[in-house]
């Protein structure tokens, strides 16, 4: 059982909201909150679901709040939610059939359906409450949850002869259940003590199209309203009174997203409109626009008329839309990236840029048009086809790099549509074969697949072009372009590219060919600028068959992530000169046995923090924090032991302040590490946080503005040693305890700091208050 923190208080205001800096060791979700799929309410709050998490809206204070795996939810990927007023319980279901009950400030997880082996799908499509019981419409039947006893009470398999049948929705008319399913509507007496017996569920054969799918059902004015799911642009709605069925509302040419009843009105969410209907099914109002200030037409998932008199709309693009009268509308969106897609990421300082595109395992296009997401000063700006006309037909953004000399400048390469550059004002230029040296694909003249982009220390922008006439291209700061042709070596597929501290370019190849890596040095003679590395001893000795990631550390060493763990080139400068440059595997001890580091894992991402430690992302085992030499495993975060959404990590980046941005295949999440970038010049801005340390604070105390591996001694005012620590990158972390592990008393404590060779030192103070 986990406690749900910050579910009601603190957090975020409406529309665009400033994100506060994480405390050390804390997580923050960076998910899109504009796409809402379901909605419910309590007396004080409106709750809405995204496909990933939840948000709540305080009706009195007009404050939005994010609720995710970071602050208490048990899982990731929400499917539906509903609030039971009598038992003050919010029931949340997930796409994997997991269930959370949020009640009395805590989260109770019911994982029975998730864990149970069931043939067919286990989707949970809807929730219907009767007293303490929640009836879940599932992909195989109906599950009854007792929310008071916090347990699964029963399961009904209602299909013919007890077979699985997908139940989309459930409602009650009189004393009977009506279940809308994939092959018609079933009825059962609500008072029958044995509803688990399929014989007590009778299919309605007098309904028009009795064997067709019906996906929504609601009771309205003593009628049962059902929606027939069709393969044409408009669904069909029928009303049952007694044993007579009539078609209603047949003049709206949209699919039906949701049915709801409120204040003697039938509220219908269509794909691009909202319909309000009177008790005789006459049209009260149709809403097909929120107004000129909205970029898109309505895409409502659901609508409710609240006890406060407002209409609340869960919209798939505009977030939570609120209207007092369905004439004026206000969109409420928590700031975030446009989507959960993270293919590549680049960070300089505190600027984060995400390329959202992708390609499949065969390096073919997936035609994703989500765009580019930029995080700066605590908020996201998204560039995509709807707000940047130059990106209108662009797809598969696969590589990005931020200029290390100017974090406002960055470049994005696409797998088919060329190169795009941006600055602090947004989009700047698009480059292709007509305005640069870039060359198209050798087979398809209209396709330009760019696998890597990288800025060097001289502000040159380098671009790696896959399967083209020229492998590399350079745009100088003057704007002049130069192409570098390497014959047959230009025919490789490019996975990625980075520039190291020596301005050498490391080009990751698809794998399966003669080489796994190319290394390029522009300072070498023309016929010696490019060297290919592979798994052969003396020619790279790279583990596995494919290089998936690469990073250079603070000592200049090259860490290579492969499909068989990690290899390290300790002297990469030898590649273009005489000397050994073979990658070495790191031997570690696990359970008393020596083995190679992560040799059974695909290492898809590596990032280096301010303490030279390695953050390693894998395909199956989540993310590892390793010591600087890789010998010690300091942390291993997985979806099972942390808020991490998934164990499949695509990309990792670290800000100067030590925030670790982790791009999973399910979205972006941030962890605040203990190491920050070290300060140059030494000790230019040293301070402690929090300071003073108040009685109710028991977290880590950060001493910031340090050099890497600085010595820190903490004494009381009389000079007696209290504790001593080393900095991790640019900061040292003190627990507030003395050498015996006891919390220090009220007083002033002196912090003596010296760099690693003792040539620089400084003293600061920390006040403790009890």
pLDDT in tens, 394-412: 999 999 999 999 999 999 9
In this prediction, residues 352-370 reach a mean pLDDT of 95
Peptide bond preceding 690: is omega within 30 degrees of 0, i.e. cis?
Answer: yes
Instruction: Tokens for 65, please give them.
Output: 């709040």
> Residue with structure tokens 């359906």?
113
pLDDT at 686 over 60: yes
pLDDT at 31 over 90: yes
Instruction: Tokens for 642, please give them.
Output: 């942390």
Q: Please, are residues 98 and 114 in contact by the beta-carbon 8 Å criterion?
A: yes
Count CA within 13 A, CB hemisphere, residue 349. Answer: 15
* CA-based max dimension of the chain: 92
pLDDT for the residue 21 = 57
Region of 279 on the Ramachandran plot (φ > 0 left; ψ -120 to 50 alpha; else beta): alpha
Residue-wise DSSP of 180-203: EETTEEEEEETT-TTTTSGGG-EE
Name the pTM for this structure: 0.92
CA distance 474 to 462: 5
pLDDT cut 90: percent of the chain above it: 82
CA distance 156 to 111: 18
CA distance 312 to 83: 15
pLDDT per position as a tens digit, 117-137? 887 799 999 999 999 999 999
Collapse the DSSP code of 704 into the 3-class scheme (helix H, G, I; strand E, B; otherwise coil) and give the result. Answer: strand
pLDDT per position as a tens digit, 293-325? 887 899 999 999 998 999 999 999 999 999 999
Average model confidence (pLDDT) for the chain? Answer: 92
DSSP state of 526: G
Instruction: Tokens for 609, please give them.
Output: 């923090």
Name the strands in the sheet holding 623-626, side by side, starting at the edge strand that comes first in the sequence.
Answer: 603-608, 614-618, 623-626, 633-637
- Reported as a pLDDT band with limits 50, 70 and 90, residue 443 is confident
pLDDT at 11 over 70: no
pLDDT at 20 over 70: no
CA distance 494 to 415: 10
CA distance 688 to 675: 14
Q: What share of the chain is helix, strand, coil (3-state, %, to 5)?
A: 5, 45, 50
CA distance 1 to 202: 40
Please give the residue that has the higher pLDDT: either 404 or 707: 404
Strands 256-262 and 244-248: unpaired
What's the distance, CA 608 to chain centroid?
Answer: 21
Other beta carbons within 10 angstroms of residue 234's beta carbon come to: 16
Residue-wise DSSP of 373-417: EEEETTEEEEE-TTT-GGGTT---EEEEEE-TT-TT-EEEEEEEB
Report the candidate in 71, 69, 131 with the shortest Cα–Cα distance to residue 98: 69
pLDDT at 14 over 70: no
Q: Please, are residues 742 and 766 in contact by the beta-carbon 8 Å criterion?
A: no
- Reported as a pLDDT band with limits 50, 70 and 90, residue 149 is very high
pLDDT per position as a tens digit, 518-529? 999 999 998 899
pLDDT for the residue 441 = 81
pLDDT for the residue 393 = 95
Q: Please, are residues 260 and 302 in contact by the beta-carbon 8 Å criterion?
A: yes
Q: How far is CA 722 from CA 145, 148, 606, 756, in A?
A: 55, 51, 37, 20
In this prediction, residues 29-49 reach a mean pLDDT of 96
CA distance 417 to 432: 8
In this prediction, residues 168-186 reach a mean pLDDT of 96
pLDDT per position as a tens digit, 235-269? 999 998 878 899 998 778 899 999 999 878 899 99
- Reported as a pLDDT band with limits 50, 70 and 90, residue 5 is very low
pLDDT per position as a tens digit, 71-95? 999 999 999 999 999 999 999 999 9
Taking the CA atoms of residue 639, residue 640, residue 641 and residue 644 in that order, the dihedral angle to the nearest 10 degrees is 10
Residue 601's Cβ-count burial label (10 Å; 0-12, 13-18, 19+) is buried
Cα angle 707-710-716, degrees, rounded to a multiple of 5: 120
pLDDT at 506 over 80: yes
- Reported as a pLDDT band with limits 50, 70 and 90, residue 16 is very low
pLDDT at 54 over 80: yes
DSSP state of 115: H
Residues 6+ apart with CB under 8 A from 632: 626
Question: Among 5-19, 530-544, 605-619, 741-755, where is mean pLDDT lowest?
Answer: 5-19
pLDDT for the residue 759 = 84
pLDDT for the residue 440 = 87
Question: Among 51-65, 195-209, 237-251, 534-548, where is mean pLDDT lowest?
Answer: 237-251
Please give the residue that has the higher pLDDT: either 160 or 664: 664
CA distance 46 to 323: 13
pLDDT cut 70: percent of the chain above it: 97
Count CA within 13 A, CB hemisphere, residue 458. Answer: 11
């Amino acid at each position: 059982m986990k406690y749900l923190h910050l579910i009601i208080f603190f957090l975020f205001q409406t529309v665009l909201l400033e994100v506060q800096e994480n405390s050390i060791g804390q997580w923050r979700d960076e998910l899109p909150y504009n796409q809402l799929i379901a909605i419910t309410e309590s007396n004080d709050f409106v709750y809405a679901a995204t496909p990933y998490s939840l948000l709540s809206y305080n009706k009195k204070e007009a404050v939005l709040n994010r609720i995710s795996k970071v602050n208490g939810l048990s899982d990731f990927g929400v499917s539906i939610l509903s609030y039971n007023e009598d038992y003050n319980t919010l029931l949340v279901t997930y796409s994997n059939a997991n269930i959370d009950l949020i009640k009395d400030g805590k989260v109770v997880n019911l994982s029975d359906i998730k864990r149970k082996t069931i043939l067919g799908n286990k989707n949970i499509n809807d929730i219907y409450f009767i007293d303490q019981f929640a009836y879940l419409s599932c992909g195989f039947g109906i599950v009854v949850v007792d929310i008071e006893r916090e347990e699964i009470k029963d399961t009904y398999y209602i299909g013919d002869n007890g077979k699985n049948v997908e139940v989309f929705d459930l409602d009650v008319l009189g004393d009977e259940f009506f279940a809308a399913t994939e092959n018609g509507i079933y009825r059962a007496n609500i008072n029958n003590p044995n509803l688990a017996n399929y014989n007590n569920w009778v299919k309605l054969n007098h309904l028009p199209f009795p064997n067709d799918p019906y996906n929504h059902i609601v009771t309205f004015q003593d009628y049962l309203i059902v929606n027939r799911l069709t393969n044409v642009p408009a669904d069909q709605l029928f009303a049952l009174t007694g044993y007579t069925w009539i078609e209603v509302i047949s003049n709206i040419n949209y699919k039906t997203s949701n049915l709801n009843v409120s204040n003697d009105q039938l509220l219908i969410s269509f794909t691009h409109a909202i319909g309000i209907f009177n008790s005789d099914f006459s049209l009260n109002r149709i809403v097909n626009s929120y107004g000129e200030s909205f970029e898109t037409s309505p895409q409502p998932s659901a609508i409710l008329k609240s006890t406060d008199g407002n209409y609340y709309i869960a919209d798939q693009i505009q977030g939570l839309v609120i209207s007092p009268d369905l004439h004026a509308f206000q969109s409420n969106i928590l700031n975030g990236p446009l989507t959960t897609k993270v293919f590549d990421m680049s960070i300089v300082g505190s600027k984060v840029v995400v390329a959202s595109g992708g390609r499949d395992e065969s390096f073919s296009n997936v035609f994703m048009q989500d765009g580019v997401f930029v995080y700066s000063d605590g908020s996201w700006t998204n560039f995509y086809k709807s707000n940047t006309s130059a990106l209108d037909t662009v797809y598969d953004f696969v590589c990005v790099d931020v200029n290390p000399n100017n974090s406002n400048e960055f470049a994005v390469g696409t797998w088919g549509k060329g190169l795009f550059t941006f600055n602090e004002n947004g989009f700047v230029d698009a480059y292709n074969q007509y305005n640069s040296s870039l060359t198209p694909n050798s087979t398809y003249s209209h396709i330009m697949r760019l696998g890597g982009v990288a800025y060097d220390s001289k502000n040159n922008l380098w671009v790696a072009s896959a399967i083209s006439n020229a492998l590399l291209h350079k745009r100088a700061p003057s704007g002049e372009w130069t192409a570098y042709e390497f014959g047959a070596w230009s025919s490789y597929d490019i996975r990625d590219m980075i520039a190291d501290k020596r301005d050498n370019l490391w080009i990751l190849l698809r794998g399966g060919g003669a080489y796994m890596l190319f290394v390029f040095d522009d300072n070498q003679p023309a016929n010696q600028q490019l060297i290919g590395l592979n798994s052969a001893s003396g020619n790279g000795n790279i583990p596995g068959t494919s290089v998936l990631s690469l990073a250079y550390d603070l000592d200049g060493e090259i860490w290579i992530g492969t499909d068989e763990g990690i290899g390290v080139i300790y002297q990469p400068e030898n590649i273009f000169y005489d000397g050994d440059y073979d990658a070495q595997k790191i031997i570690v001890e696990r359970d008393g046995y020596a083995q190679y580091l992560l040799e059974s894992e695909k290492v898809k991402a590596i990032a280096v923090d301010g303490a030279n430690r390695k953050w390693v992302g894998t395909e199956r085992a989540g993310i590892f924090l390793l010591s600087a030499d890789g010998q010690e495993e300091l942390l291993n975060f997985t979806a099972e032991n942390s808020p991490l959404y998934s164990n499949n990590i695509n990309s990792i980046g670290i800000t100067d302040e030590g925030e670790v941005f982790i791009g999973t295949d399910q979205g972006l999440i941030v962890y605040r590490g203990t190491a920050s970038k070290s300060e140059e010049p030494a000790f230019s801005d040293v301070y402690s946080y929090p300071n003073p340390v108040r009685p109710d604070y028991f977290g880590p105390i950060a001493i910031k503005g340090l050099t890497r591996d600085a010595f820190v001694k903490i004494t009381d005012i009389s000079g007696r040693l209290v504790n001593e620590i080393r900095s991790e990158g640019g900061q040292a972390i003190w627990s507030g305890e003395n050498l015996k592990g006891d919390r220090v008393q009220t007083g002033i404590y002196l912090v003596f700091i010296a760099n690693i060779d003792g040539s620089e030192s400084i003293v600061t103070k920390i006040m403790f208050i009890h």
